[in-house]
């Protein structure tokens, strides 16, 4: 049975002949100045098909020179000298020299693991298949970035894709590796990786809202009441995930377990179409969990048609075994089983594959093939494709969204998650979805769950989840009021961030820059003391405008403040929530109460949100644009119709610091996909007053808000401010008093400390005076943060 066209992914796997250097048993392809494909084949046969990792080798040829040496050949590009003895690959016979950013020559040798800094692996890491049952760190597979400038991806064991879209094994015994020798040109390495393996696709807009997911046997009435309560309490969601109890789980023992299922449990959900329609009417997309490993058995509703299509007599009740490597099974798996359920109103599938890496074809990982074909099939009605599944190796970024698995409820799990998320961008995997709040086991800790909610707001995908337990539900009202209020604020902010998030979605697709990236992506220089971004693996860049330094440990009992230490890149940075300013190029210690979270915007940042109270996922009627004054800034807002082939609109938002001018440029593109007139308000951080032309200004707490009349999308608008008064908001003294007032410590210590603060002198003088007082270390650190800030 041939594959339908929708299941055939276009590929361009042949490299130009002029890019290849060949011998009897080897082929070296110079794909770019710093990317080499290295093949060795005892049979002399080489692979020109696409693979599960590689879909394009049709790179534009680059200049290189081949020299004959007494030991073999040397291939020289503008940045790399590759030496090869024309024998089976070995460390002594295949090596490359590349110039480092520090001016020193660096050498890569085939098969040797490189280490730096007292034994640390030089590879900066990629990601891992799953965080199932992980409590804290886990080992990561390699990415394409390295402290020594070279990284290798081995493609020797992966399956190939024929031109007809089907899989085939490789020639046994051949070696096929890719050398990324980009030095500290990290973005060029990522660009080459994506050119080789495919871009990260555009996700649907609704994917960036909040996802509700819980392993719980919901009845339809219970689920509807839950969604109605979320609406009543103004808690927005865009995706409803139904875990495995949507289908029959208590099955006759002769059929095995109930983990796999395709038959609605009508005792819980008597009218599936009605429930799905009701959820759609409320603006929710719906995903169903599926564990496909047990195939289709005789008790299932789709069994008769699936068995007939597979040539099995339904009267025998013989199971149709799951075999993803059988082309006939694959097509019928979709057409006889999944499509009828999708026709009822299911939008996408949660592929919960937990059955390992083996299949009926040696070397074939069934998870990869499931991800590949489910993703392609999900576009069958012209929808923007999406699936939800675990990572299956390099190239998996083509099939978002990633499900990171069942993590443990603990501070250790939360501590690892930001680094895990950001580091995945080193292998192009930018769209991880975690079980926000923790999944199972562990312990109940209200502060822990609240901090996890805050991280979820600034994660690629924000999906709340918990295991089958009466005690682990992530509904905010399950927690004390002070924690619930912070959780709800985090969920609301996530939806208000949609204009920013969706713009970053398009930027990720277009520029190969993931939403969450390590600090060293923007500054790859290695500091002698390892203080730059390498030493702050939990801190990440969140799009173009923001930096997030997550709090992943309990608050100090004395100060009541959560704390995090991070490298802050050069420049001036402004706290998104408190407007406290910091000069970068140094390590900072940040302290926040439960209601605060360290999210910093670079001076000049322009961050568009939806208007206050507007949580719908569509292109909004109103915007609230935050401008962090102190430098010029610009942001190009991206919107579209959310189609597979999008009709797009771009709107440039520009802040001119010296002129005091904010411009909403006329929108460019298919203007009919956005409202013709829209409400805009401008929030200027660091400005307390100004004379305003072009809007009505309101000041308060160190921010100036300017409300514009309805703006014609095709025309745009300009706001001009003069006689600006900078500052406002709490003074340094007021911030210090607040910290000291909260502190749980001896009153005499508070009095002495305040006397030192309140005495005449600048912040440095205060620091010197405080040095003579015995203070608890956390309290001293919190006070010092304020005194070392820019106020």
Kind plus residue range of the DSSP H or E element containing 206: none
Instruction: Give backbone dihedrals phi and psi of 46, rounded to 5 degrees, phi first.
Output: -120, 155
The segments of the chain whose pLDDT lies below 70 read 100-105, 526-532
C-alpha closest to that of 454 among 577, 581, 543, 557: 577
Q: Which alpha helices (DSSP H) does 460-619 contain, by range?
A: 481-496, 498-511
Give residue 119's pLDDT: 84
Give residue 524's pLDDT: 87
CA distance 96 to 715: 56
User: How many other CB atoms sit within 10 Å of the CB of residue 326?
Assistant: 17
CA distance 376 to 378: 5
How many Cα atoms occupy the beta-carbon half-sphere of 656 within 13 Å? 12
Give residue 671's pLDDT: 98
**Tens digit of each residue's pLDDT (9 = 90 or more) over 353-406:** 988 788 888 889 999 999 999 999 999 999 999 999 999 999 999 999 999 999
Give residue 700's pLDDT: 85
DSSP letter, residue 254: G
CA distance 403 to 408: 15
CA distance 569 to 733: 26
CA distance 565 to 120: 21
Tell me the longest C-alpha to C-alpha distance in the chain.
Answer: 93
Q: CA torsion sign, 354 to 355 to 360 to 363?
A: positive
Instruction: Report how far apart, in Å, the C-alpha atoms of 313 and of each of 298, 316, 335, 504, 590 are.
Output: 11, 6, 18, 52, 67
Give residue 116's pLDDT: 85
Q: CA torsion sign, 376 to 377 to 379 to 382?
A: positive
Spell out the residues 6+ positions from residue 470 whose beta carbon is closer than 8 angstroms to its own.
none
């Amino acid at each position: 049975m041939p594959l339908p066209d929708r299941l055939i992914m276009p590929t361009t796997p042949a490299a130009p002949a002029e890019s290849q250097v060949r011998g009897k048993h080897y082929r070296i392809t110079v794909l770019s100045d710093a990317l080499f494909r290295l093949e060795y084949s005892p049979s002399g046969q080489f692979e020109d098909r696409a693979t599960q990792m590689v879909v394009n080798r049709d790179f534009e040829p680059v200049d290189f020179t081949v020299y004959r040496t007494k030991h073999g050949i040397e291939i020289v590009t503008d940045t790399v000298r590759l030496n090869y003895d024309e024998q089976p690959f070995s460390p002594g016979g295949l090596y490359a020299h590349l110039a480092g950013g520090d001016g020193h020559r660096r050498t890569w040798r085939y098969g040797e693991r490189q280490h730096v800094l007292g034994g640390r692996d030089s590879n900066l890491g990629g990601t891992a298949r799953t965080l199932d049952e992980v409590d804290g760190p886990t080992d990561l597979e390699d990415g394409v970035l390295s402290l020594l400038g070279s990284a290798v991806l081995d493609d020797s064991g992966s399956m190939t894709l024929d031109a007809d879209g089907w899989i085939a094994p490789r020639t046994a015994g051949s070696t096929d590796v890719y050398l990324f020798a980009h030095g500290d040109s990290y973005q060029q390495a990522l660009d080459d990786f994506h050119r080789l393996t495919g871009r990260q696709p555009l996700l649907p807009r609704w994917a960036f809202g909040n996802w509700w997911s819980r392993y719980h046997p919901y009845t339809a009435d219970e689920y509807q009441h839950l969604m109605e309560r979320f609406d009543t309490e103004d808690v927005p969601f865009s995706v409803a995930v139904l875990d495995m109890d949507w289908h029959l789980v208590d099955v006759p023992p002769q059929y095995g377990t109930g983990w796999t299922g395709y038959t609605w449990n009508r005792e819980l959900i008597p009218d599936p179409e009605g429930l799905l329609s009701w959820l759609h009417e409320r603006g929710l997309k719906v995903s169903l969990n599926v564990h496909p490993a047990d195939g289709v058995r005789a008790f299932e509703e789709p069994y008769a048609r699936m068995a007939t299509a597979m040539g099995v007599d339904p009267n025998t009740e013989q199971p149709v075994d799951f075999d993803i490597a059988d082309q006939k099974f694959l097509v019928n798996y979709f057409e006889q089983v999944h499509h009828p359920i999708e026709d009822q109103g299911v939008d996408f599938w949660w592929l919960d594959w937990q059955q390992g890496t083996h299949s009926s074809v040696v070397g074939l990982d069934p998870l990869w093939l499931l991800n590949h074909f489910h993703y392609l099939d999900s576009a069958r009605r012209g929808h923007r494709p999406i699936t939800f599944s675990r990572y299956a190796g390099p190239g998996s970024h083509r099939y978002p969204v990633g499900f990171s698995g069942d993590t443990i409820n603990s501070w250790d799990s939360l501590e690892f998650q930001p680094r895990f998320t950001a580091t995945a961008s080193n292998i192009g995997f930018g769209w991880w979805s975690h079980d926000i709040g923790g999944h199972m086991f562990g312990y109940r800790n209200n502060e822990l769950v609240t901090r996890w909610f805050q991280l979820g707001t600034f994660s690629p995908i924000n999906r709340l989840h918990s295991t089958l337990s009466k005690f682990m539900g992530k509904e905010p009202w399950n927690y004390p009021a002070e924690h619930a209020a912070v959780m709800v604020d985090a969920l609301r902010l996530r939806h208000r961030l949609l204009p920013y998030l969706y713009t970053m979605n398009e930027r990720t697709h277009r520029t190969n820059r993931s939403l969450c990236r390590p600090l060293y992506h923007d500054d790859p220089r290695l500091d002698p003391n390892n203080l730059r971004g390498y030493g702050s693996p939990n801190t990440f860049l969140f799009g173009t405008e923001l930096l997030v330094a997550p709090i992943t440990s309990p608050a100090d009992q004395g100060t009541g403040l959560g704390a995090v230490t991070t490298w802050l890149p050069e420049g001036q940075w402004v706290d998104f929530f408190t407007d406290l300013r910091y000069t970068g190029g140094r390590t900072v210690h940040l302290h926040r109460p439960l209601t605060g979270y360290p999210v910093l915007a670079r001076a000049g940042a322009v961050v568009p949100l939806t208007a206050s109270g507007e949580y719908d996922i569509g292109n909004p009627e109103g915007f609230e644009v935050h401008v962090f004054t102190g430098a010029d800034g610009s942001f190009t807002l991206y919107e579209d119709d959310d189609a597979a082939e999008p009709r797009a609109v771009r709107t440039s938002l520009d802040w001119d610091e010296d002129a005091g001018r904010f411009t909403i440029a006329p929108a460019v593109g298919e203007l009919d996909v956005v409202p013709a007139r829209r409400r805009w308000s401008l929030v200027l951080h660091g400005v307390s007053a100004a004379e305003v032309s072009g809007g009505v200004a309101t000041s308060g707490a160190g921010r100036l808000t300017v409300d514009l009349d309805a703006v014609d999308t095709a025309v745009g608008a300009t706001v001009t401010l003069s006689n600006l008064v900078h500052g406002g908001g709490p003074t340094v003294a007021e911030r210090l008093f607040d910290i000291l007032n909260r502190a749980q410590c001896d009153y005499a210590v508070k009095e002495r400390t305040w006397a030192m603060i309140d005495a005449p002198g600048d912040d440095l003088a205060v620091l010197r005076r405080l040095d003579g007082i015995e203070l608890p270390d956390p309290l001293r650190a919190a006070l010092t943060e304020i005194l070392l800030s820019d106020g």
